[in-house]
Amino acid sequence: MEDENVMIERHETGRLAVGFPSHIPARSVLGGILVGLAVGGPLFGMMGFSFLASTTLLLVSSPLLLLFSPLLLSAALVLAGALAGFGAAALMAVAGMSTLGWVFWELGTLQRFHPEISTAAAEQWSS
């Protein structure tokens, strides 16, 4: 199954070299152009339609966006405030958990190195 347009030569190194001729028949060129138009034409048309629809929707919605911008701005500010509040709550939770961890670490160290203080404290807390 050899194509008449492809030339295969064997060089003195033993490798095969594939080359294409300088002349391509006009029938092949015409077939390639027709296939390219058949595939690319509808794609180009859909691209133009998509661009036209996007531009039309932008032109129609621009006055609405300008009209409702105060409402959108206030909604964005409320959303930003809620996000800031949740962020602050998360930071406080992390700070509280790390403080509790530090307190428990210190109590464990105190109990290991000074058992008399920890027993006196336990008796004081239990009464």
* Mean confidence (pLDDT) of the chain: 84
Q: What is the Rg, in whole angstroms, of the alpha carbon atoms belonging to the chain?
A: 39
Extended beta strands in 11-111, E state:
16-19
β partners of residue 16: 10
Render pLDDT for 72-88 as a digit per residue (tens, 0 to 9): 889 999 999 999 999 99
Q: What is the residue extent of each domain of the chain?
A: 27-67, 68-115
Give the pLDDT of residue 124: 74
- 3-12, 20-29, 99-108: which has the minimum mean pLDDT? 3-12
Give the pLDDT of residue 89: 98
Between 103 and 15, the more confident residue is: 103
Contact 5, 28 (CB under 8 A): yes
Contact 19, 7 (CB under 8 A): yes
Give the pLDDT of residue 79: 96
Give the pLDDT of residue 21: 62
Distance CA 34, CA 31 (A): 5
Give the pLDDT of residue 39: 93
Extended beta strands in the chain, E state:
7-10, 16-19
Render pLDDT for 29-59 as a digit per residue (tens, 0 to 9): 899 999 999 999 999 999 999 999 999 999 9
What's the pTM?
0.42
Percent of the chain predicted with pLDDT > 90: 47
